[in-house]
Amino acid sequence: MNPSKFAVKPVAPDRLPDLLRRMPKAELHMHIEGSLEPELIFAMARRNAVQFAFPDVDSLRRAYVFDSLQSFLDIYHQGTMVLKTEQDFYDMTHAYLKRAASDNVLHAEIFFDTQTHTAHGLDSGVVINGLHRACGNAQALFGMTASLILCFLRHLSEDEAFEALEQALPYRDRIVGIGLASSEMGHPPEKFAKVFARCRELGFRLVAHAGEEGPPAYIWSALDVLKVERIDHGVQAFKDAALMQRLAKDKIPLTVCPLSNLKLCVFKNLSDHNLGGMLDAGIVATVNSDDPAYFGGYINENFTQTFAALGLTAQHAYMLARNSFEASFMDASLRRNCIDRLNSVFESFH
Ligand code: ADE
Ligand code: ZN
């Protein structure tokens, strides 16, 4: 069904937050290490006897003030140092899934990377098995599904990405897709052309961060060189009218993360964000939390704050939730079921 065919009833602005919280949704852009809350970081540091750079939870939280992607990645990397065992990866993922389910997330596609952790001396299997076990329990514990997307770190070399791929291949059946994350500027997608071509041959679904801080040219090359199916962020596309037309015409989903963009100073104010303009231009945008423990909110907070700042409507809410299911890598019968549940919430909301 064409989303525009579903008749969305108008909803008063004061009732919209309730609808946004209750509507079923998928989350397609979140880094599991970015869901590590300071309390969990300190609990893991204690149990793994890791000396941590900050003395307590409050001092760590106070350090979450960023002026760019890199300033965030530096502190995010410190948080990852407490992860040592398969149980740590399980606990981190379990905590995220529980939180996501309370926001009515029916399906999550979770980014992780192995390169951070193998550099700390861990085996890729420790990471993947912990994450996979938590995802496997999501249906029984939280009534939702979850799958895993392995991201290569773009500040490292393509040879290192090939090495990470090799180490992950014994766990091929546990990974739905491949992504590209970390420091964007100076590391264009085409740096990873060969390894993405190999991943495509292996049947992985492909996504890449592009146009978070980087120029529209990075979005073009993610599409035309890496041949990705979704663009993570993509908000810089607004600077290139031909690219906007391409994204709309080819229905390339963008996984937009408004509170991340605000915290990392991609937009000065949330009211400057271009999410509404993207939707009005016919782009298949979705709303996501990116690194919720660092950016001041999980997915529902991204929805409610952005809708308040931009004056978006119930029609936009429906589009965004619908897009999240359409853009996901879930199988067709699950997608149908999620969309039916979305429609019934909108039909019965008064
Ligand atoms: N890794 C974690 N969060 C990220 C982001 N917002 N951009 C790029 N890489 C990331
Ligand atoms: Zn991201």
Summarised one tens digit per residue, pLDDT across range 125-147 is: 999 999 999 999 999 999 999 99
- pLDDT > 90: percent of the chain: 97
**Which ligand number lies closest to the CA of residue 261?**
1
Ligand in closest contact with the CA of 232: 2
**Ligand 1 mean position, distance from CA 138 (Å):** 24
Residues 6+ apart with CB under 8 A from 188: 214, 217, 218, 221
Residue 201 annotated in active site: no
What domains appear along the chain, each with residue ranges and CATH number? 19-35+89-348 (3.20.20.140)
Ligand 2 center to 152 CA (angstroms): 12
* Pocket residue to mutate for ligand 1, from 209, 231, 235, most atoms within 8 A of Cβ: 209
Proximal ligand: closest to the CA of 182: 1
Which ligand 1 atom is the nearest neighbour of the CA of 181?
9
- pTM score over 0.75: yes
Cα separation, 116 vs 120, whole angstroms? 7
**Residue with CA at minimum distance from ligand 1 atom 10:** 182
Q: Whose CA is nearest to atom 8 of ligand 1?
A: 182
Q: What is the mean pLDDT of residues 302-308?
A: 98
Our mutation pick for probing the ligand 1 site, out of 71, 212, 218, 231, counting the most ligand atoms within 8 A of Cβ, is: 212
Half-sphere CA count of 75, side-chain side, radius 13 A = 22
Q: How far is the CA of 233 from the centre of ligand 1 (A)?
A: 10
Confidence grade of residue 3 (pLDDT, cut at 50, 70, 90): low
User: Of 172, 173, 86, 179, nearest to 127 (Cα)?
Assistant: 86
Residue type, 289: S
Least confident of 4-13, 155-164, 276-285, 333-342: 4-13
- Cα dihedral across residues 38, 175, 171, 174: positive or negative: positive
Give the distance (Å) from ligand 2 centre to CA of residue 31.
Answer: 6
Confidence check: pLDDT of 321 > 80: yes
**pLDDT of amino acid 5:** 77
Nearest-atom number in ligand 1 for the CA of 291 is 3
Taking alpha carbons only, the member of 271, 276, 266, 281 closest to residue 233 is 266
Q: Which atom of ligand 1 is nearest to the CA of 184?
A: 8
Amino acid at 212: E
Question: What does the pLDDT read at residue 1?
Answer: 44
Q: What is the dihedral of CA 109, 168, 70, 327, to 10 degrees?
A: -20
Ligand 1, CB cutoff 6 Å, lining residues: 31, 34, 69, 181-182, 209, 212, 260, 290-291
Maximum pairwise Cα distance, the chain: 57
Pocket test for ligand 1, best of 28, 31, 207, 232 (most atoms within 8 A of CB): 31
Give me the mean pLDDT over the 238-259 stretch.
98
Cα four-point dihedral sign 37, 39, 41, 43: negative
Check 86, 109, 212, 301 and give the catalytic one. Answer: 212
| Alpha carbons 182 and 296: distance in angstroms, whole number | 20
Nearest residue (by CA) to ligand 1, atom 2, is 31
pLDDT tens-place string over residues 198-248: 999 999 999 999 999 999 999 999 999 999 999 999 999 999 999 999 999
